Structure 1
Amino acid sequence: MEQYRCTKTIVSLINYHFVFCPRYRRKVLVGEVEIRFKQLVQQICKENDWRILAMEVMPDHCHLFLNCLPTDSPSAIMAKVKGVTSRILRQEFKHLAHLPSLWTRSFFVSTAGNVSSETIKRYVEAQKKRG
């Protein structure tokens, strides 16, 4: 089911599918790091009024499917998510502290256009099960 957002003057349906990776595609998003990363993303999204439609964290990359307002640009969303999670995870986990940054500067983003939001959601949720 599509998620329409209604604010004072804006009615929108903007769903972004993001994929982003740690530097050098390191497999660091495991165990306690994965758990803490998910908590941080949920907190950041709540603070910014972004709705998480689906999230799957693989050891070397993350899929994040968000519903946002048109005032939130994809680059601003990624800057916030990557910046906050990189800083906090490197502070809290000693084995990540030596990294100058946790994430690559690049990311993939698409909107739900030719493919329905439900299809993207199923795809993201199926990532963990692929082995």
Structure 2
Amino acid sequence: MANTYTQIHLHLVFAVKHRAAVIAPDWKYDLYGYMTGIIQNHSHKVLAINGMPDHVHILIGMRPTQSVSDLMQQLKQESSGWINDNRRTSHRFAWQEGYGAFSYSKSQLPAVIRYIDAQEEHHRTRSFIDEYSRMLDTLGIDYDERYVFKPLA
């Protein structure tokens, strides 16, 4: 779009359905590469991607040519299809409903990238639900605990 200038940085967070810890170390980087391709195919830029066996964090530079909800729908649909087509899990894989999308200024990006890169380290002492609730609280986002990513059953 001519004469359209934006600087949109989003931190995306989403979880495996029922928070099942099924994203295995031997294929997680293949998944991250596939997800990066999906995002780049929509003209967005991946700045950081990492996660744990039950969830993923992605920091992107987003173009205004697509809504966040459309990107997330395609990202989740196409990546779960890739996981299932490649039989990466012993059962049908699905992402949990919903996601977090948080905006950051350019000056905040180094800290967000460090945070995403250090997932394994800080999850030694903090659960995903604690991490996510703390993120919502820190950003001042009102939420209903019934609709936050469900804990493991």
TM-score range relative to shorter protein: 0.7 to 0.9
Match of 2:119 in 1: 127
Match of 1:50 in 2: 44
Displacement of 1:79? 0.6
Match of 1:3 in 2: none
Match of 1:39 in 2: 33
CA distance in 2, matches of 1:111, 1:94: 32
Identity %: 22
Match of 2:150 in 1: none
Cα 1:125–1:11 change in 2 (3 A) is same
RMSD: 1.9
* Structure 1 unaligned residues grouped into runs of 5+: 1-6
Deviations 1:32-61 (A, max 9, x none): 331221121121122111111111121111
Do the aligned partners of 1:16 and 1:74 also contact (CA within 8 Å) in 2?
no
* Structure 2 unaligned residues grouped into runs of 5+: 125-153
Moved over 2 A (4+): 128-131
1:1-131 correspondence runs (5 A) = 8-93=2-87, 95-96=89-90, 98-99=91-92, 101-113=93-105, 116-130=108-122, 131=124
| TM-score normalised to structure 2 length | 0.72
- What secondary structure sits across from 2:49 in the alignment? strand
CA distance in 1, matches of 2:25, 2:120: 14
Deviations 1:74-126 (A, max 9, x none): 11111111000001111111634x32x5101111111115x822222222122
| TM-score normalised to structure 1 length | 0.82
